[in-house]
Amino acid sequence: MTIEDSIGYYFKNKAYLEEALTHTSYANEHGIKSNEKLEYLGDSILEFVSSEFLYNNFPKLNEGELTKLRAMVVCEESLYQVAMKHKFFDYIRVGNSEKVYGNNYKEAILADSVEAVIAAIFFDGGFEESKKFILDNLTDKMYEASKHIGQKDYKTVLQEELQKNGDVKIKYTIVSESGPDHLKMFVSEVSVDGRFLANGKGHSKKLAEMQAAKKALEVLK
């Protein structure tokens, strides 16, 4: 399966795709164009498409809530997940300064390449094709994120629960991390006044802490 098979779009001009998958480090070493300008345009297209979708599909949310929801979706972590889904790491060209064992590239490099591909599709096939790519990959994420709008996160709820009867010391500690750089798994432990409550896992330290707080709330029920 090629990257075009995976993303569901076949380029008429393959040069757009090659440019979108060319990191600055590689471009500098070989004297060719990098994906920086495509990334710049792709970021704007992504913001517009997601804003339009949220405006049309979540009419009860106010401007602040729509902005918060968009930020939850149009972020490095979401775009990184899109890149991993389509195995961009097998196709992106990076310079020696960024090469690591096993294609374990930085999340930012892969996330930025998704924005560049959005712009590449726009130039090759037009706005509707780039919009289709965005919505095919992020619609589920937008609906999932919408469930949390207006709700307090688990860490806030846990803090309020534990401090109902006075101040206590709540501490989150990353106790382990494993896996390759592009797919790290963190384990966080939450304790109160030195007493262990629960632990949680996630692909970022923040997510691991949230899962630990969620499990702690379940323990306290």
Taking CB atoms within 8 Å and a gap of at least 24, the contacts of 70-73 are 72/145, 72/148, 73/138, 73/141, 73/142, 73/145
Q: What is the pLDDT of residue 182?
A: 56
43 as an active site residue: the answer is: yes
Q: What is the pLDDT of residue 220?
A: 87
Q: What is the pLDDT of residue 147?
A: 76
Q: What is the pLDDT of residue 94?
A: 92
- Mean pLDDT per segment of 10 residues, for the chain of length 221 residues? 95 98 95 97 97 91 91 91 94 83 75 97 97 94 81 81 91 90 81 94 83 90 77
CA dist 24 and 6 (Å) reads: 24
Which residue, 29, 14, 4, is CA-closest to 94?
29
Residue whose pair of structure tokens reads 């990353």 in the numeric block: 174
Report the alpha-carbon angle 186-189-190, nearest 5.
140
Q: Which of 19, 43, 107, 112 is catalytic?
A: 43
Question: Which residue ranges form the domains of the chain, and what is each CATH number?
Answer: 3-146 (1.10.1520.10), 154-220 (3.30.160.20)
Q: Which of 115, 124, 189, 209 is catalytic?
A: 115
Q: What is the pLDDT of residue 37?
A: 98
| Reported pTM | 0.70
167 SS3 class:
coil
